[in-house]
């Protein structure tokens, strides 16, 4: 009787062992097949991993900002670049406009994020025929060195209004993320005029008053041939972009709010770019002398925007302001409808 029980026990143990081995072999085969089924695509065509901290700790990227700074100044050796696996990547996001909407402020503020690397200068690759003829490798060489899982961002506001640009960017990367920062259209047009006026005055040149440029003297209608006015018709330009990119590829930033309360706008951009939230109140402090928020990277390094930002606008005839706002109103309504974002513009 005892021998029979021992034999039955051995038989059960044998069966359990066989089942365990079989299950293990099935799991190994299954995992292997799943690995083979993973999609493979070039890194340039992807926006980047949504959980960046799991690949490169953001603390590590923060510590290595100094190295990237030295590289930008030209002080790093080729050996240092190779040792840290630094590369020049095509941008995964571009601030395409709008001129005088706050593009520089947005770029500098996003650069607070340790996973973001910015191109310091406007490259004007896609809107300049001579630059575009130099090819994509020339464009890549204009980008800063970065770690593989950082996002490179550049900004050239002329991209938004230049007809050829949407197709050219689409050919480079059809899944790229596009940022558009806008302000109230009439205010933006006056700001545009003010920058040009300042440039003329520096050269001791005269310039027409804003009212004369913005209003057609013959018809008394808004002069849509004036570039500052035409640029503020946001929906006209956006419709051209939508022929190539779905609306989900765009994020609209409120340029007026970025001036008065930047953090909520930056947090929206972080989510749009699939970045972990890292920019905080600590990184932004209001400078009463300048009247703008400045940037705090750490306890040692702070940065304010150039003194040319926030120019005082000339007084504009209230009747002209009212005429412009009435003109822009239907275009603004369409812009709200397309983008899904509403602003309190008059």
Which one, of 241, 226, 207, 197, lies nearest residue 324 by Cα? 226
Q: Which of 100, 118, 177, 323 is catalytic?
A: 100
Q: What is the CA radius of gyration of the chain?
A: 27
Q: For the chain, what percentages of helix, strand and coil (3-state, to nearest 5) are there?
A: 50, 10, 40
Is 102 marked as binding a ligand? yes
121: CB partners within 8 A, 6+ apart: 142
Is 313 marked as binding a ligand? yes
Q: What distances in angstroms separate CA 236 from CA 44, 116, 166, 241, one per listed residue? A: 29, 30, 13, 9
Is 21 marked as binding a ligand? no
Is 103 marked as binding a ligand? yes
Give, rounded to a whole angstrom, the gap between the first and last alpha carbons of the chain: 97
Is 323 marked as binding a ligand? no
Is 310 marked as binding a ligand? yes
Is 311 marked as binding a ligand? yes
Is 104 marked as binding a ligand? yes
Is 71 marked as binding a ligand? no
100 is catalytic: yes
Is 281 marked as binding a ligand? no
Return the residue matching tokens 């412009």: 324
Which one, of 130, 125, 115, lies nearest residue 64 by Cα? 115
The catalytic site residues sit at 100
* Annotated binding residues for 3'-phosphoadenylyl sulfate: 100-104, 183, 191, 293, 309-313
* Annotated binding residues: 100-104, 183, 191, 293, 309-313
């Amino acid at each position: 009787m005892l021998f029979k029980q021992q034999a039955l026990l051995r038989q059960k143990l044998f069966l359990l062992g066989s089942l365990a081995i079989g299950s293990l072999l099935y799991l190994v085969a299954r995992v292997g097949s799943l690995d083979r089924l993973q999609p493979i695509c070039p890194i340039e065509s992807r926006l980047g991993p949504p959980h960046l901290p799991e690949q490169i700790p953001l603390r590590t990227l923060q510590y290595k900002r100094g190295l990237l700074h030295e590289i930008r100044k030209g002080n790093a050796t080729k050996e240092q670049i190779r040792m840290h696996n630094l590369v020049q990547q095509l941008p995964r996001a571009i601030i395409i406009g709008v001129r005088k909407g706050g593009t520089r402020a947005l770029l500098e503020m996003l650069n607070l994020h340790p996973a973001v690397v910015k191109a310091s200068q406007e490259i004007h690759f896609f809107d300049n025929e001579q630059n575009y003829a130099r090819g994509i490798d020339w464009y890549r060489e204009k980008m800063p060195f970065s770690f593989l899982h950082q996002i490179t961002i550049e900004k050239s506001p002329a991209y938004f209004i230049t007809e050829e640009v949407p197709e050219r960017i689409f050919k480079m990367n059809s899944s790229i993320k596009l940022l558009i920062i806008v302000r109230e259209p009439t205010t933006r047009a006056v700001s545009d005029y003010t920058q040009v006026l300042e440039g003329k005055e520096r050269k001791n040149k005269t310039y027409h008053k804003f009212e004369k440029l913005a209003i057609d003297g013959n018809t008394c209608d808004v002069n849509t041939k004036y570039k500052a006015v035409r640029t503020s018709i946001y929906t006209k330009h956006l419709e051209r972009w939508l022929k190539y990119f779905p609306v989900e590829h765009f994020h609209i930033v409120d340029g007026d709010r970025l001036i008065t309360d930047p953090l909520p706008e930056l947090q929206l951009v972080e989510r749009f770019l699939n970045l972990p939230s890292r920019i905080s109140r600590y990184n932004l402090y209001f400078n009463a002398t300048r009247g703008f928020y400045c940037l705090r990277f750490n306890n040692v390094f702070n940065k304010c925007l150039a003194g040319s930002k926030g120019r005082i606008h000339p007084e504009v005839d209230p009747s002209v302001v009212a005429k412009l706002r009435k003109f822009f109103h239907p275009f603004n309504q369409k812009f709200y409808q397309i983008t899904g974002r509403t602003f309190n513009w008059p």
